[in-house]
Amino acid sequence: MGSMASAVTADLLDSNEELIKSGELRVLDPIFKIYGRKQIFSGPVVTLKVSNENGNAREILETRGEGRVLVIDGGGSKRCALLGGTLTQLAHDMGWAGIVVNGYIRDVSLINNIDIGVRAFGSNPLKPKKFRTGEKNVAVPVAGSLIFPGEWIYADCDGVIVSKNKLTV
């Protein structure tokens, strides 16, 4: 399974307690549901801040993922889904490790058959507008923590943690 299988969130937190005290390592509020076939994923963060639309997500996911994690901050809006099966498949095909959505997704049955990690608050069948007004690579407030581009996300069945730097157990 490779090294990532062993580096689960609990182990990373237990072996990096000083980073928790300093704030360099944070646990996101436990409000995410687990989607996608890859339950454990990690990678450096790319951020996208949107408002009831996801127009820039395609543009980002069309670039080589190289094991990165896209964090889409929709402000937790329940109005529409910010991610669906088409973009999730694109992310997988381009080599992204995962997508964390501060909001909702749709096409859950499709996404659950794609070998990628996805976290979101739940599902909403309404698709988003496509304005392309999102801001890329800005700090985004998600699940009780401010997440910065280039930080590292680690996700497993226990939860999601964010670190200023790549972690080792």
Within a domain: 168 = no
We report the CATH number of the domain holding residue 117 as 3.50.30.40
Within a domain: 12 = yes
pLDDT at position 52: 81
Within a domain: 136 = yes
pLDDT at position 2: 40
Residue 126, marked binder: no
Percent residues over pLDDT 70 in the chain: 96
One-letter amino acid identity for 80? C
Could you tell me the residue range of the domain that residue 132 belongs to?
A: 3-163
Nearest Cα neighbor of 119 from 58, 45, 54, 31 is 31
117 beta partners? 98
Q: Is there a contact between 120 and 34 (Cβ–Cβ < 8 Å)?
A: no
pTM: 0.94
One-letter amino acid identity for 13? L
Rounded Cα gap, residues 105 and 85, in angstroms: 9
Tokens, residue 16: 């990096």
Within a domain: 169 = no
Q: How many domains does the chain have?
A: 1
Average pLDDT, the chain: 93
Residue 106, marked binder: yes
Residue 107, marked binder: yes
Rounded Cα gap, residues 116 and 110, in angstroms: 11
pLDDT at position 3: 45
Within a domain: 13 = yes
Residue 158, marked binder: no
Q: Please write the tens of the pLDDT for every residue from 35-44.
A: 999 999 999 9
Q: Please write the tens of the pLDDT for every residue from 94-111.
A: 999 999 999 999 999 999
Within a domain: 117 = yes
